[in-house]
Structure 1
């Protein structure tokens, strides 16, 4: 079901809906590539099973793609949250929607990637 609400401030959106936020083909493909690359790195991380946080290279450069999208302002402070459940890794890009807007936090989830046994 969409959206999947983890709490009142965080919304889970799957990769197929990234086009809603990044309709430009080049921007969407770059975002997908970045997320998939980050997924692969996390899948081989020895600390898998824990929530990891880190920056996603290239996110700031994609912020322009959101400027024309309603309710989707560029975020000044982006970070990733990785969650592992049932052998599946999910990536969430989490950040403030607008400068100083600490009560309006959203997330985008990458499509599921199998975690190596």
Structure 2
């Protein structure tokens, strides 16, 4: 019988959502067990988690999404970010009510 190696998390992923003008929103992120949804999250929000491959494929890699569409408006900016072991992978600042970052799609604005 062949034994498979045990899976273990190798990256420390930090998800971050901040805003100067929005105080509550829904946040969705991926951890070792899959996608998680948190409702009515107070900002600023930050979470450190272990993840096997932060810049892995969409679905298992690092992902964060912030949704504040009911309170969105011009100039009501939100910034979502993903860090892996302290290195910035993705940062997106937007005011349309829905922002995303993916560890496998480096984007910094």
Name the structure with the higher helix share: 1
Which protein has the larger Cα radius of gyration, Structure 1 or Structure 2? Answer: 2
Common fold: TM-score over 0.5: no
TM-score, normalised with respect to structure 2: 0.29
Name the structure with the higher strand share: 2
TM-score, normalised with respect to structure 1: 0.28
